Amino acid sequence: MWKYPKDFPILDQKIHGHKLTYLDSAATTQKPKVVLEALQNYYETLNANIHRGVYQLSEKATEAYENTRKHVAKFIGARDPSEIIFTRNATEAINLVAYTWGEKNISEGDEILLTEMEHHSNLVPWQLLATRKGAHLKFIPLTDEGTLDLKNLDAFFTPKTKLLAVTHMSNSLGTINPVSKLIEKAHQNQTTVLIDGAQAAAHLKINVSELNADFYAFSAHKMLGPTGVGVLYGKKEILEDMPPFLGGGEMILEVYKDYSTWKPLPEKFEAGTPNIAGVVAFSAALTYLENFGMENLRQHEKELTQYALGRLKELEGLRIFGPMDISLRGGVISFTYLDIHPHDLGTVLDHQGIAIRTGHHCNQLVMRRYDVSATARASFYLYNTKEDVDILIEGLQKAKAYFDRGSKKGA
């Protein structure tokens, strides 16, 4: 028996009379007991505002908060904890770059290179920036298989290409992109690179220094941590050169009537009281992942995904999106089934206790590329098992039978 589901109290419940089968970890993961305990413990023993009290409680809270920063730096291979900026989520991390680095470095006529598989959070901030600056967006297209079409990659880089913003792993197609190669290519062109790691950081072993990414953004809640905590990694020299994002307490050094000066990294980018409890508990999530092992996690998800792809292919009329090569795909499978609309599928599966995501997954460009308005998506994490996949398959068969009832009458 796979022992890990036991660590997740939420999984031990019934939905519509059935055991909960949670297959939506690409949206958010469930939290292990140790993370819930860390949250509880923070409020019971440590709660005080950080970076401002001279009393012991505040010092301890500050220490716990800063320990997570060190932990995150180690977890993703950053050289220095001051390269870790806490935000609300990956979206805010990307917006931070757009509103600070972008304001300073993007001018009229410049080009921002994206891909057609970007989540709206790594697309809309750049649209807004491009509109403010009169810059242009360019998109690396997708192959029919759901990978980036890199045939004409050279042609996408011009002297005007100031930024490449690309996802490390697609949240709808599951595709793992060759970001190392893309970063190298971009740097040859003096193009700065932001990697959207919202999916990848949760599922792959990441080393931002080896990758040589300039920015790397991700969210705690997709990797066992609490909601409301995001991370922006940025190279120190780039972050230091950026103007601040939000103004307010804790990010200032001296304040006068007409101007202020900023604290050094990382406080310069952390105005106001942050999600202290969430950040502190995030460290417990990282420890859990370290104990599990990111390589083991990848191996577990590969096996599950391989098994799921095989079983899904058995179903006639089931269309799978994204690469079938498991080395190119994380534990995310988007699909459509016969002419059953994904929402109807989602509702019928819900009534069997199965939670999947349905819709456009904040990926309208991808939906348009493959000419669908929505897909169903099952995504896995360390608590999922082959039995969950079997339950999904059985659920899909029951959904088909359920809607066949309608077509007999309607035809």
Partner 1 sequence: MAWEALNDLYREVILDHYKNPRHHEKIEPHDVEQEGFNPLCGDQLTLQLKINSGKIENVGCWGKGCSISQASASILTECIYGKALEEVLSEASFFKEVMQGKSKIEEKDVGDLEALSGVQKFPVRIKCALLAWTTLEEALRFYEKTHVSSLK
Residue positions annotated with a catalytic role? 362
Is residue 206 within 8 A of residue 200, CB to CB? The reply is yes
Binding region for partner 1 (CB under 8 A) out of 29-37, 287-295, 320-328, 357-365? 357-365
What's the min distance (Å) between Cβ of 350 and partner 1? 9
Looking at residue 244, its amino acid is P
* Position among 107, 188, 299, 373 found at the interface with partner 1 (CB under 8 A): 373
| Segment interacting with partner 1, rule: CB under 8 A, options 197-205, 220-228, 326-334, 341-349 | 341-349
Among 179, 231, 251, 348, the residue binding partner 1 under the rule CB under 8 A is 348
> 236 vs 351, which CB is nearer to partner 1?
351
Q: Rg of the chain's alpha carbons, rounded to an integer?
A: 22
How far apart CA 202 and CA 289 sit, in angstroms, is 9
- Cα four-point dihedral sign 189, 194, 195, 196: negative
Cα dist. 155→138, 152, 202 in Å? 11, 6, 32
∠ CA 267-268-273 to the nearest 5 degrees? 50
- Mark the segment that binds partner 1 (CB under 8 A) among 5-13, 14-22, 142-150, 309-317: 14-22
Integer Cα distance of 252 and 290 in angstroms = 35
136: contact with partner 1 by CB under 8 A:
no
Residue 367 makes contact with partner 1 by CB under 8 A = yes
Which residues on adjacent β-strands are paired with residue 232? 85, 217
The residue among 96 and 349 lying less far from partner 1, judged by its C-beta, is 349
**Contact call for residue 343 and partner 1 (CB under 8 A):** yes
Q: How far is the CB of 391 from partner 1 (least distance, A)?
A: 14
Answer for which of 138, 246, 359, 390 binds partner 1 (CB under 8 A) is 359
The Cα-based distances of 64 to 39, 132, 179, 190, 282 in angstroms read: 12, 39, 33, 38, 11
- Nearer Cβ to partner 1 (204/374): 374
| Chain residues that interact with partner 1, rule: CB under 8 A | 16-18, 341-344, 347-348, 351-352, 358-360, 364, 367, 373-374, 402-403, 405-407, 409-411
